[in-house]
Amino acid sequence: MMNERILIVEDDADMRELLEEVLFDAGFETVLAANGRFALAHVESEQEQIDLVVTDVQMPELKGDELLGKIRQTRSDAPVIIITAFGSVENAVEMVKKGAYSYLTKPFATKDLLEVVRAALAQSEAARAQVRLRRDIPAANNRIVGASRPMRELLDLIRRAGNSPSNILITGESGTGKELVARAVHDASARSKSQFVAVNCAAIPSELVESELFGHTGQAFTGARTARAGLFETADGGTLFLDEIGDLPLNVQPKLLRVLQEGTIRRVGESREKSVDVRVIAATNRDLEKAVANNEFREDLYWRVNVIHLHVPPLRERAFDIPLLVEHFLAKIAKKQNVIPREIAPEALALLTAYSWRGNVRELENTLERAVALAHGAVLSIEDLPARIREASGQTSAILASAKSKRLTLDQLEQAYILEILSEAGGNKSRAAEILGLDRKTLYRKLDEYRENNPELEITPIN
Ligand SMILES: Nc1ncnc2c1ncn2[C@@H]1O[C@H](COP(=O)(O)OP(=O)(O)OP(=O)(O)O)[C@@H](O)[C@H]1O
Ligand SMILES: [Mg+2]
Protein backbone atom coordinates (compact mmCIF):
# COMPACT_ATOMS: atom_id res chain seq x y z
CA MET A 1 0.00 0.00 0.00
CA MET A 2 1.12 3.54 -0.70
CA ASN A 3 1.93 5.81 2.18
CA GLU A 4 -0.31 8.79 2.54
CA ARG A 5 1.24 11.93 1.17
CA ILE A 6 1.24 15.02 3.33
CA LEU A 7 1.97 18.49 2.07
CA ILE A 8 3.71 20.72 4.60
CA VAL A 9 3.29 24.44 3.98
CA GLU A 10 5.49 26.60 6.15
CA ASP A 11 7.73 29.53 5.37
CA ASP A 12 9.95 29.02 8.39
CA ALA A 13 12.60 26.51 7.35
CA ASP A 14 13.26 25.12 10.84
CA MET A 15 9.59 24.55 11.53
CA ARG A 16 9.17 23.00 8.10
CA GLU A 17 11.97 20.53 8.65
CA LEU A 18 10.69 19.69 12.10
CA LEU A 19 7.24 18.91 10.74
CA GLU A 20 8.78 16.87 7.97
CA GLU A 21 10.91 14.92 10.42
CA VAL A 22 7.97 14.04 12.63
CA LEU A 23 5.64 13.06 9.81
CA PHE A 24 8.27 11.19 7.84
CA ASP A 25 9.33 9.20 10.89
CA ALA A 26 5.69 8.32 11.44
CA GLY A 27 5.69 6.69 8.00
CA PHE A 28 4.10 9.36 5.84
CA GLU A 29 5.39 10.65 2.55
CA THR A 30 6.12 14.33 2.80
CA VAL A 31 6.10 17.13 0.27
CA LEU A 32 7.36 20.55 1.27
CA ALA A 33 6.28 23.99 0.20
CA ALA A 34 7.77 27.24 1.41
CA ASN A 35 4.75 29.31 0.51
CA GLY A 36 1.11 29.08 -0.41
CA ARG A 37 1.68 29.44 -4.11
CA PHE A 38 3.96 26.42 -4.35
CA ALA A 39 1.54 24.58 -2.11
CA LEU A 40 -1.36 25.23 -4.42
CA ALA A 41 0.59 23.91 -7.39
CA HIS A 42 1.19 20.65 -5.52
CA VAL A 43 -2.46 20.32 -4.57
CA GLU A 44 -3.62 21.03 -8.09
CA SER A 45 -1.32 18.47 -9.64
CA GLU A 46 -3.41 15.36 -10.11
CA GLN A 47 -0.30 13.26 -10.37
CA GLU A 48 0.81 14.08 -6.90
CA GLN A 49 -2.37 13.22 -5.06
CA ILE A 50 -1.82 15.10 -1.86
CA ASP A 51 -3.83 13.36 0.88
CA LEU A 52 -3.53 15.98 3.56
CA VAL A 53 -2.23 19.51 4.03
CA VAL A 54 -0.57 20.91 7.14
CA THR A 55 -0.24 24.66 6.83
CA ASP A 56 1.00 27.68 8.68
CA VAL A 57 -1.26 30.74 8.74
CA GLN A 58 1.08 33.72 8.54
CA MET A 59 3.10 33.43 5.34
CA PRO A 60 4.22 35.88 2.69
CA GLU A 61 2.33 35.77 -0.62
CA LEU A 62 -0.63 33.46 -0.16
CA LYS A 63 -1.68 33.29 3.50
CA GLY A 64 -3.07 30.15 5.12
CA ASP A 65 -6.68 31.21 4.94
CA GLU A 66 -6.45 32.22 1.29
CA LEU A 67 -4.72 28.94 0.56
CA LEU A 68 -7.52 27.05 2.27
CA GLY A 69 -10.08 28.87 0.13
CA LYS A 70 -8.15 28.09 -3.03
CA ILE A 71 -7.69 24.43 -2.11
CA ARG A 72 -11.41 24.06 -1.57
CA GLN A 73 -11.95 25.37 -5.09
CA THR A 74 -9.79 22.62 -6.59
CA ARG A 75 -10.91 19.04 -7.01
CA SER A 76 -8.80 18.03 -4.06
CA ASP A 77 -10.65 17.02 -0.94
CA ALA A 78 -7.48 16.75 1.15
CA PRO A 79 -8.19 17.74 4.74
CA VAL A 80 -6.33 20.84 5.90
CA ILE A 81 -4.77 21.13 9.34
CA ILE A 82 -3.75 24.57 10.55
CA ILE A 83 -0.66 25.25 12.61
CA THR A 84 -1.01 28.59 14.30
CA ALA A 85 0.82 30.79 16.73
CA PHE A 86 -0.75 31.02 20.14
CA GLY A 87 -1.83 34.60 19.51
CA SER A 88 -3.97 33.94 16.46
CA VAL A 89 -6.23 31.12 17.56
CA GLU A 90 -9.30 33.11 16.57
CA ASN A 91 -8.09 33.18 13.04
CA ALA A 92 -7.65 29.40 13.07
CA VAL A 93 -11.11 28.85 14.47
CA GLU A 94 -12.45 30.96 11.63
CA MET A 95 -10.62 28.71 9.19
CA VAL A 96 -12.09 25.58 10.70
CA LYS A 97 -15.52 27.11 10.09
CA LYS A 98 -14.49 27.60 6.47
CA GLY A 99 -13.58 23.98 6.01
CA ALA A 100 -10.23 23.30 7.68
CA TYR A 101 -10.24 20.02 9.56
CA SER A 102 -8.66 21.23 12.77
CA TYR A 103 -5.86 23.36 14.17
CA LEU A 104 -2.89 23.08 16.50
CA THR A 105 -1.21 25.90 18.35
CA LYS A 106 2.55 26.25 18.47
CA PRO A 107 4.32 24.78 20.31
CA PHE A 108 2.58 21.45 20.04
CA ALA A 109 3.43 17.93 21.12
CA THR A 110 4.44 15.47 18.42
CA LYS A 111 1.81 13.07 19.58
CA ASP A 112 -0.96 15.66 19.22
CA LEU A 113 0.11 16.39 15.68
CA LEU A 114 0.11 12.73 14.73
CA GLU A 115 -3.22 12.16 16.38
CA VAL A 116 -5.00 14.91 14.49
CA VAL A 117 -3.31 13.91 11.22
CA ARG A 118 -4.41 10.29 11.57
CA ALA A 119 -7.95 11.24 12.51
CA ALA A 120 -8.25 13.55 9.50
CA LEU A 121 -6.90 10.90 7.14
CA ALA A 122 -9.21 8.23 8.50
CA GLN A 123 -12.21 10.44 7.95
CA SER A 124 -11.30 11.48 4.44
CA GLU A 125 -10.36 7.91 3.49
CA ALA A 126 -13.90 6.81 4.21
CA ALA A 127 -15.33 9.62 2.13
CA ARG A 128 -12.90 9.04 -0.69
CA ALA A 129 -13.35 5.31 -1.03
CA GLN A 130 -16.68 6.04 -2.65
CA VAL A 131 -15.47 8.39 -5.32
CA ARG A 132 -12.10 6.86 -6.07
CA LEU A 133 -13.40 4.10 -8.26
CA ARG A 134 -15.34 6.45 -10.42
CA ARG A 135 -12.46 8.85 -10.82
CA ASP A 136 -9.83 6.27 -11.71
CA ILE A 137 -11.55 4.86 -14.76
CA PRO A 138 -11.08 7.66 -17.27
CA ALA A 139 -7.77 8.70 -15.78
CA ALA A 140 -6.19 5.26 -16.04
CA ASN A 141 -6.45 4.98 -19.84
CA ASN A 142 -4.45 7.99 -20.85
CA ARG A 143 -2.52 8.53 -17.70
CA ILE A 144 0.71 10.42 -18.10
CA VAL A 145 3.18 8.84 -15.74
CA GLY A 146 5.94 11.05 -14.38
CA ALA A 147 7.08 12.60 -11.16
CA SER A 148 10.34 14.20 -12.22
CA ARG A 149 10.54 17.94 -12.12
CA PRO A 150 10.25 18.46 -15.91
CA MET A 151 7.23 16.19 -16.06
CA ARG A 152 5.54 17.88 -13.14
CA GLU A 153 6.05 21.20 -14.84
CA LEU A 154 4.62 19.80 -18.05
CA LEU A 155 1.59 18.36 -16.26
CA ASP A 156 0.98 21.71 -14.68
CA LEU A 157 1.17 23.42 -18.07
CA ILE A 158 -1.20 20.85 -19.57
CA ARG A 159 -3.76 21.60 -16.94
CA ARG A 160 -3.46 25.33 -17.49
CA ALA A 161 -3.44 25.00 -21.26
CA GLY A 162 -6.62 22.94 -21.05
CA ASN A 163 -8.49 25.95 -19.73
CA SER A 164 -7.31 28.25 -22.47
CA PRO A 165 -8.72 28.39 -26.00
CA SER A 166 -5.33 28.99 -27.64
CA ASN A 167 -3.76 26.71 -30.19
CA ILE A 168 -0.92 24.56 -29.00
CA LEU A 169 2.30 23.25 -30.47
CA ILE A 170 3.77 20.14 -28.88
CA THR A 171 7.39 19.39 -29.62
CA GLY A 172 9.59 16.52 -28.55
CA GLU A 173 11.58 13.61 -29.87
CA SER A 174 9.90 10.55 -31.26
CA GLY A 175 8.16 8.41 -28.67
CA THR A 176 8.26 10.96 -25.86
CA GLY A 177 4.47 11.02 -25.48
CA LYS A 178 3.35 13.95 -27.63
CA GLU A 179 0.06 12.35 -28.59
CA LEU A 180 -0.60 11.42 -24.99
CA VAL A 181 -0.03 15.04 -24.03
CA ALA A 182 -2.41 16.23 -26.75
CA ARG A 183 -5.13 13.95 -25.43
CA ALA A 184 -4.47 15.11 -21.90
CA VAL A 185 -4.92 18.73 -22.96
CA HIS A 186 -8.20 17.82 -24.61
CA ASP A 187 -9.32 15.91 -21.53
CA ALA A 188 -8.43 18.89 -19.35
CA SER A 189 -10.43 21.29 -21.49
CA ALA A 190 -14.07 22.24 -21.64
CA ARG A 191 -14.10 20.48 -25.02
CA SER A 192 -13.58 17.08 -23.45
CA LYS A 193 -17.22 16.13 -24.05
CA SER A 194 -16.71 16.58 -27.78
CA GLN A 195 -14.45 14.67 -30.12
CA PHE A 196 -10.70 14.46 -30.13
CA VAL A 197 -9.81 13.86 -33.77
CA ALA A 198 -6.24 12.88 -34.57
CA VAL A 199 -4.70 13.03 -38.02
CA ASN A 200 -1.16 12.30 -39.08
CA CYS A 201 -0.25 14.87 -41.73
CA ALA A 202 2.71 12.77 -42.87
CA ALA A 203 0.53 9.74 -43.58
CA ILE A 204 -1.91 11.32 -46.05
CA PRO A 205 -0.87 11.60 -49.70
CA SER A 206 -0.25 15.30 -50.29
CA GLU A 207 -2.96 15.66 -52.96
CA LEU A 208 -5.59 14.38 -50.48
CA VAL A 209 -4.62 16.45 -47.43
CA GLU A 210 -6.89 19.32 -48.30
CA SER A 211 -10.01 17.23 -48.79
CA GLU A 212 -9.23 15.16 -45.69
CA LEU A 213 -9.04 18.29 -43.59
CA PHE A 214 -11.81 20.37 -45.14
CA GLY A 215 -14.03 17.83 -46.92
CA HIS A 216 -15.18 17.88 -50.51
CA THR A 217 -18.26 18.01 -52.70
CA GLY A 218 -19.39 15.15 -54.89
CA GLN A 219 -17.70 16.48 -58.03
CA ALA A 220 -14.58 17.95 -56.51
CA PHE A 221 -12.10 15.65 -58.19
CA THR A 222 -11.78 12.29 -59.87
CA GLY A 223 -12.60 9.63 -57.35
CA ALA A 224 -14.77 11.88 -55.19
CA ARG A 225 -18.17 10.36 -55.86
CA THR A 226 -19.99 11.51 -52.79
CA ALA A 227 -19.71 14.65 -50.72
CA ARG A 228 -17.81 14.18 -47.53
CA ALA A 229 -17.17 16.22 -44.41
CA GLY A 230 -13.56 16.88 -43.51
CA LEU A 231 -11.85 16.38 -40.20
CA PHE A 232 -12.43 19.99 -39.18
CA GLU A 233 -16.16 19.41 -39.37
CA THR A 234 -15.87 16.12 -37.51
CA ALA A 235 -13.96 17.86 -34.76
CA ASP A 236 -16.42 20.76 -34.52
CA GLY A 237 -16.76 21.71 -30.87
CA GLY A 238 -13.78 19.56 -29.99
CA THR A 239 -10.08 19.26 -30.69
CA LEU A 240 -8.21 18.50 -33.90
CA PHE A 241 -4.80 16.99 -33.38
CA LEU A 242 -2.52 17.65 -36.35
CA ASP A 243 0.33 15.23 -35.82
CA GLU A 244 3.59 15.75 -37.77
CA ILE A 245 2.47 19.20 -38.81
CA GLY A 246 5.96 19.82 -40.15
CA ASP A 247 5.01 17.53 -43.05
CA LEU A 248 1.97 19.52 -44.08
CA PRO A 249 2.37 20.32 -47.82
CA LEU A 250 3.24 23.95 -48.51
CA ASN A 251 0.20 24.48 -50.71
CA VAL A 252 -2.17 23.45 -47.91
CA GLN A 253 -0.53 25.64 -45.28
CA PRO A 254 -2.23 28.92 -46.30
CA LYS A 255 -5.59 27.15 -46.22
CA LEU A 256 -4.98 25.94 -42.71
CA LEU A 257 -3.86 29.41 -41.72
CA ARG A 258 -7.14 30.81 -43.04
CA VAL A 259 -9.20 28.39 -40.97
CA LEU A 260 -7.25 29.29 -37.87
CA GLN A 261 -7.70 33.00 -38.53
CA GLU A 262 -11.30 33.09 -39.69
CA GLY A 263 -12.75 30.00 -38.05
CA THR A 264 -14.37 29.02 -41.36
CA ILE A 265 -13.73 26.17 -43.77
CA ARG A 266 -14.63 25.57 -47.39
CA ARG A 267 -15.01 22.07 -48.76
CA VAL A 268 -12.99 21.32 -51.86
CA GLY A 269 -15.17 22.08 -54.90
CA GLU A 270 -17.52 24.29 -52.94
CA SER A 271 -17.79 28.05 -52.75
CA ARG A 272 -19.78 28.34 -49.53
CA GLU A 273 -17.97 28.82 -46.26
CA LYS A 274 -18.96 27.12 -43.06
CA SER A 275 -17.91 28.17 -39.63
CA VAL A 276 -16.33 25.63 -37.30
CA ASP A 277 -15.28 25.81 -33.70
CA VAL A 278 -12.16 23.72 -33.41
CA ARG A 279 -9.14 23.93 -31.20
CA VAL A 280 -6.00 22.85 -33.00
CA ILE A 281 -3.20 21.05 -31.25
CA ALA A 282 -0.23 20.38 -33.48
CA ALA A 283 2.77 18.18 -32.85
CA THR A 284 6.10 17.69 -34.51
CA ASN A 285 9.44 16.07 -33.85
CA ARG A 286 11.04 18.26 -36.49
CA ASP A 287 12.72 21.56 -35.81
CA LEU A 288 9.96 23.84 -37.10
CA GLU A 289 11.98 27.00 -36.69
CA LYS A 290 14.57 25.56 -38.98
CA ALA A 291 11.84 24.54 -41.42
CA VAL A 292 10.63 28.15 -41.33
CA ALA A 293 14.15 29.39 -42.02
CA ASN A 294 14.38 26.97 -44.97
CA ASN A 295 11.02 28.12 -46.35
CA GLU A 296 9.52 24.69 -45.82
CA PHE A 297 7.04 25.94 -43.29
CA ARG A 298 5.18 29.23 -43.36
CA GLU A 299 6.18 31.58 -40.62
CA ASP A 300 2.69 33.04 -40.17
CA LEU A 301 1.24 29.56 -39.71
CA TYR A 302 4.01 28.73 -37.27
CA TRP A 303 3.02 31.63 -35.03
CA ARG A 304 -0.68 30.80 -35.31
CA VAL A 305 -0.13 27.27 -34.14
CA ASN A 306 2.57 27.98 -31.61
CA VAL A 307 0.59 30.15 -29.22
CA ILE A 308 1.24 27.80 -26.35
CA HIS A 309 4.33 25.67 -26.62
CA LEU A 310 4.55 22.38 -24.75
CA HIS A 311 7.88 20.59 -24.94
CA VAL A 312 8.01 16.96 -23.91
CA PRO A 313 11.50 16.25 -22.60
CA PRO A 314 13.34 13.16 -23.79
CA LEU A 315 13.41 10.24 -21.39
CA ARG A 316 17.15 10.54 -20.80
CA GLU A 317 16.51 13.89 -19.13
CA ARG A 318 14.09 12.33 -16.69
CA ALA A 319 15.56 9.01 -15.70
CA PHE A 320 13.85 9.58 -12.39
CA ASP A 321 10.58 8.60 -14.11
CA ILE A 322 11.83 5.29 -15.46
CA PRO A 323 11.02 3.09 -12.46
CA LEU A 324 7.50 4.57 -12.41
CA LEU A 325 7.08 3.99 -16.13
CA VAL A 326 8.33 0.41 -15.82
CA GLU A 327 5.78 -0.27 -13.14
CA HIS A 328 3.08 1.39 -15.21
CA PHE A 329 3.86 -0.59 -18.35
CA LEU A 330 4.20 -3.93 -16.55
CA ALA A 331 0.73 -3.30 -15.12
CA LYS A 332 -0.59 -2.23 -18.55
CA ILE A 333 0.83 -5.33 -20.25
CA ALA A 334 -0.57 -7.59 -17.55
CA LYS A 335 -3.98 -5.99 -17.85
CA LYS A 336 -4.06 -6.67 -21.57
CA GLN A 337 -3.26 -10.33 -20.93
CA ASN A 338 -5.47 -10.49 -17.89
CA VAL A 339 -2.70 -11.73 -15.62
CA ILE A 340 -0.88 -10.48 -12.54
CA PRO A 341 1.86 -7.94 -13.37
CA ARG A 342 5.33 -9.36 -13.79
CA GLU A 343 7.92 -8.33 -11.25
CA ILE A 344 11.34 -7.07 -12.18
CA ALA A 345 14.68 -7.76 -10.52
CA PRO A 346 16.39 -4.69 -9.02
CA GLU A 347 19.49 -5.17 -11.23
CA ALA A 348 17.33 -5.24 -14.34
CA LEU A 349 15.50 -2.11 -13.26
CA ALA A 350 18.83 -0.42 -12.60
CA LEU A 351 19.96 -1.25 -16.14
CA LEU A 352 16.76 0.14 -17.64
CA THR A 353 17.14 3.30 -15.57
CA ALA A 354 20.73 3.86 -16.61
CA TYR A 355 20.13 3.20 -20.30
CA SER A 356 19.99 6.15 -22.70
CA TRP A 357 16.65 5.65 -24.48
CA ARG A 358 16.90 7.00 -27.98
CA GLY A 359 13.39 5.80 -28.79
CA ASN A 360 12.18 7.30 -25.53
CA VAL A 361 9.07 6.04 -23.76
CA ARG A 362 7.83 4.02 -26.71
CA GLU A 363 11.12 2.12 -26.87
CA LEU A 364 10.93 1.43 -23.15
CA GLU A 365 7.38 0.15 -23.50
CA ASN A 366 8.29 -2.11 -26.43
CA THR A 367 11.31 -3.43 -24.60
CA LEU A 368 9.17 -4.43 -21.65
CA GLU A 369 6.54 -6.04 -23.83
CA ARG A 370 9.17 -8.12 -25.50
CA ALA A 371 10.83 -8.99 -22.19
CA VAL A 372 7.54 -10.15 -20.71
CA ALA A 373 6.72 -12.21 -23.78
CA LEU A 374 10.07 -13.98 -23.82
CA ALA A 375 10.87 -14.05 -20.11
CA HIS A 376 12.53 -17.14 -18.70
CA GLY A 377 11.27 -16.92 -15.15
CA ALA A 378 8.58 -15.32 -13.04
CA VAL A 379 10.70 -12.26 -12.35
CA LEU A 380 12.18 -10.24 -15.22
CA SER A 381 15.95 -10.42 -14.98
CA ILE A 382 18.89 -8.92 -16.82
CA GLU A 383 18.91 -11.92 -19.17
CA ASP A 384 15.44 -11.00 -20.39
CA LEU A 385 16.62 -7.60 -21.63
CA PRO A 386 17.89 -7.05 -25.18
CA ALA A 387 21.63 -7.30 -25.74
CA ARG A 388 22.01 -3.61 -26.59
CA ILE A 389 20.81 -2.69 -23.12
CA ARG A 390 22.84 -5.32 -21.32
CA GLU A 391 25.95 -4.24 -23.18
CA ALA A 392 25.43 -0.52 -22.67
CA SER A 393 25.98 -1.02 -18.96
CA GLY A 394 29.65 -1.59 -19.60
CA GLN A 395 30.14 1.87 -21.03
CA THR A 396 31.16 4.83 -18.97
CA SER A 397 28.11 6.78 -17.97
CA ALA A 398 27.74 10.41 -18.99
CA ILE A 399 28.18 11.73 -15.48
CA LEU A 400 31.38 9.76 -14.97
CA ALA A 401 32.75 10.84 -18.32
CA SER A 402 32.15 14.49 -17.55
CA ALA A 403 33.60 14.09 -14.04
CA LYS A 404 36.69 12.54 -15.51
CA SER A 405 37.18 15.25 -18.09
CA LYS A 406 36.77 17.96 -15.46
CA ARG A 407 39.16 16.13 -13.11
CA LEU A 408 36.72 16.32 -10.23
CA THR A 409 37.77 15.07 -6.83
CA LEU A 410 35.71 12.32 -5.26
CA ASP A 411 34.08 14.87 -2.94
CA GLN A 412 33.19 17.14 -5.84
CA LEU A 413 31.72 14.22 -7.73
CA GLU A 414 29.67 13.25 -4.71
CA GLN A 415 28.36 16.78 -4.35
CA ALA A 416 27.46 17.02 -8.04
CA TYR A 417 25.66 13.69 -7.92
CA ILE A 418 23.74 14.49 -4.75
CA LEU A 419 22.58 17.86 -6.08
CA GLU A 420 21.58 16.29 -9.38
CA ILE A 421 19.47 13.64 -7.70
CA LEU A 422 17.94 16.19 -5.35
CA SER A 423 16.96 18.35 -8.27
CA GLU A 424 15.47 15.40 -10.12
CA ALA A 425 13.50 14.57 -7.01
CA GLY A 426 12.01 18.05 -7.23
CA GLY A 427 13.72 19.11 -4.02
CA ASN A 428 12.09 16.30 -2.05
CA LYS A 429 14.84 15.35 0.37
CA SER A 430 13.16 12.22 1.64
CA ARG A 431 12.96 10.86 -1.86
CA ALA A 432 16.49 11.97 -2.77
CA ALA A 433 17.86 10.32 0.38
CA GLU A 434 16.10 7.12 -0.57
CA ILE A 435 17.58 7.10 -4.06
CA LEU A 436 21.03 7.95 -2.76
CA GLY A 437 20.87 5.30 -0.08
CA LEU A 438 21.58 7.88 2.62
CA ASP A 439 19.61 8.51 5.73
CA ARG A 440 18.04 11.91 5.73
CA LYS A 441 20.16 13.28 8.56
CA THR A 442 23.30 12.56 6.54
CA LEU A 443 21.81 14.22 3.49
CA TYR A 444 20.86 17.30 5.50
CA ARG A 445 24.34 17.46 6.96
CA LYS A 446 25.95 17.27 3.54
CA LEU A 447 23.68 19.94 2.12
CA ASP A 448 24.49 22.22 5.05
CA GLU A 449 28.18 21.68 4.40
CA TYR A 450 27.80 22.54 0.73
CA ARG A 451 25.93 25.69 1.65
CA GLU A 452 28.57 26.67 4.19
CA ASN A 453 31.43 26.21 1.76
CA ASN A 454 29.62 28.01 -0.98
CA PRO A 455 26.92 30.44 0.13
CA GLU A 456 26.12 31.21 -3.50
CA LEU A 457 25.24 27.63 -4.18
CA GLU A 458 21.68 27.23 -5.28
CA ILE A 459 20.13 24.20 -3.71
CA THR A 460 16.80 23.42 -5.31
CA PRO A 461 14.16 25.47 -3.53
CA ILE A 462 11.97 23.27 -1.47
CA ASN A 463 8.71 22.72 -3.23
N1 LIG B 1 4.58 9.76 -19.58
C2 LIG B 1 4.00 8.65 -20.07
N3 LIG B 1 3.28 7.85 -19.27
C4 LIG B 1 2.71 6.74 -19.75
N5 LIG B 1 2.81 6.33 -21.03
C6 LIG B 1 3.52 7.08 -21.87
C7 LIG B 1 4.15 8.28 -21.44
N8 LIG B 1 4.77 8.84 -22.50
C9 LIG B 1 4.55 8.03 -23.54
N10 LIG B 1 3.79 6.97 -23.18
C11 LIG B 1 3.39 5.87 -24.06
O12 LIG B 1 4.44 5.70 -25.01
C13 LIG B 1 3.93 5.47 -26.30
C14 LIG B 1 4.39 6.57 -27.23
O15 LIG B 1 3.75 7.80 -26.92
P16 LIG B 1 3.16 8.78 -28.04
O17 LIG B 1 2.60 8.02 -29.19
O18 LIG B 1 2.29 9.77 -27.38
O19 LIG B 1 4.55 9.47 -28.48
P20 LIG B 1 4.85 10.54 -29.63
O21 LIG B 1 5.72 11.57 -29.02
O22 LIG B 1 3.56 10.99 -30.23
O23 LIG B 1 5.71 9.70 -30.65
P24 LIG B 1 5.98 9.99 -32.25
O25 LIG B 1 6.84 11.20 -32.33
O26 LIG B 1 6.71 8.77 -32.68
O27 LIG B 1 4.67 10.17 -32.87
C28 LIG B 1 2.42 5.39 -26.15
O29 LIG B 1 2.04 4.05 -25.96
C30 LIG B 1 2.16 6.18 -24.88
O31 LIG B 1 0.99 5.75 -24.26
MG1 LIG C 1 2.92 10.70 -32.19
Q: What is the pLDDT of residues 55-87, one digit of tens each?
A: 999 888 888 889 999 998 887 888 999 998 867
Centre of ligand 1 from the C-alpha of residue 2, in Å: 26
Beta carbons within 8 Å of 402's beta carbon, 6+ residues apart? none
Checking if the pLDDT of 383 tops 50, the result is yes
Cα(165) to ligand 2 centroid in Å equals 22
Q: Whose CA is nearest to atom 18 of ligand 1?
A: 177
For the CA of 142, the nearest atom of ligand 1: 31
pLDDT of residue 138: 43
pLDDT in the model for residue 346: 85
362 C-beta closer than 6 A to ligand 1: yes
Segment among 78-92, 339-353, 363-377 with least mean pLDDT: 78-92
User: What is the CA(137)–ligand 2 centre distance, in A?
Assistant: 23
3-state secondary structure of 134: helix
Domains of the chain: 5-141 (3.40.50.2300), 149-313 (3.40.50.300), 316-392 (1.10.8.60), 398-453 (1.10.10.60)
The residues, ordered by sequence, that sit 6+ positions from 318 with a Cβ below 8 Å of its Cβ are 146, 148, 150, 151, 424
Q: Among positive and negative, which fits the CA dihedral 313, 315, 318, 324?
A: positive
Give the pTM.
0.61
Is 6 exposed, middle or buried (CB count within 10 Å of its CB: 0-12, 13-18, 19+)?
Answer: buried
Higher pLDDT, 138 or 30: 30
Degrees to nearest 5, angle at CA 187 with 182 and 190: 115
Higher pLDDT, 356 or 403: 356
| Residue identifier of the C-alpha nearest atom 29 of ligand 1 | 362
The alpha carbon torsion through 69, 154, 23, 76 (nearest 10 deg) reads 30
CA of 5 to the centre of ligand 2 (A): 33
360 lines ligand 1 (CB under 6 A): no
The whole-angstrom separation of Cα 306 and Cα 167 is 7
Report the percent of the chain where pLDDT is more than 90. Answer: 47
The type of residue at 162 is G
- Distance between Cα 312 and ligand 2 center (Å): 12
326 vs 146: CA distance, rounded Å: 11
Q: Per-residue pLDDT tens for 131-144?
A: 443 333 344 457 89
Pocket test for ligand 1, best of 148, 180, 185 (most atoms within 8 A of CB): 180
Amino acid identity for residue 113 in this structure: L
